[in-house]
Amino acid sequence: MKTAVFLLLVSAAWAQSLRVYSEFAQIDTTGKVTAPAEPREILSPAIARSAFSSFQVVVDVPRGTLYQLYVAQNPENAVEVTLYRENGDRLEPVRQPVSGDSTQGFWMDLGTARDAPVERIKVEPQLHVNNDWVIYPMEARVMEATVPDGKRAQQGMRSYICGATEEAPPPGTVSILNMRSRNAQQDVALPAAAPKEELQNLFGACDAPPSPNPEWYLHIRDYLLRLR
């Protein structure tokens, strides 16, 4: 019995070395989430077609511990996976397998085709460390929601709902800010079937102060992804 408990504890400890968070979670250089206090659990995220969906992957290992990071799919090539190493706000493209020897955050972009089947797919970050494998069990749900061809909005949700001017990130840069802006523009291209009043109710008052929870916007995206 003691042996079984010990193995469970070791397994739980290793499971903490690989975590997936939303694109909005604020993560420090030690791999810890600083906001929100209770980040959304990413296990079965909904993703739109003809769009990018973004997540943050954190590898948390003691300095000097060699590892390799992969992203496995089933069905194979169900989405196009692009990985970036996070360096502050900057994103540096990397190729799989990604090698490292210390705690590191990665940006994981999933590009879903317009004609992708509406189904569940496995997109699992996998960490090879200390001659063992740690697998994050993520099953994405490809939704019917599809960003229209050729329709790329030039503003985010606040501009769309409130008419407010939003400062765009510098063009040509690869950064977390730039990726979030791109994803927000995709969202604005989706709500053709959504009453603007409903979006306003979800968004809240235009003059309200920013929410202290950086993931507050996800409930709007959840609504948009359920549209048909």
Residue 36 sits in a domain whose CATH number is: 2.60.40.10
**pLDDT above 90 (res 155):** no
**pLDDT above 90 (res 158):** no
pLDDT recorded at residue 37: 95
Q: Are residues 130 and 202 in the same domain?
A: no
Domain-ending residue, one of 86, 120, 145: 145
- Bigger pLDDT: 106 or 173? 106
Q: What is the span of the domain harbouring residue 32? A: 14-145
Q: Are residues 189 and 124 in the same domain?
A: no
pLDDT recorded at residue 151: 56
Number of domains in the chain: 2
Quote the DSSP letter at residue 155.
Answer: S
**How far apart, in whole angstroms, are the C-alpha atoms of residue 135 and residue 18?**
8
**pLDDT above 80 (res 181):** yes
Domain-ending residue, one of 118, 145, 172: 145
Contact 21, 43 (CB under 8 A): no
Domain-ending residue, one of 114, 145, 176: 145
Q: Are residues 111 and 164 in the same domain?
A: no
Global pTM? 0.88
Cis peptide upstream of residue 36 (ω within 30 degrees of 0): yes
Question: What whole-number percentage of the chain has pLDDT above 70?
Answer: 85
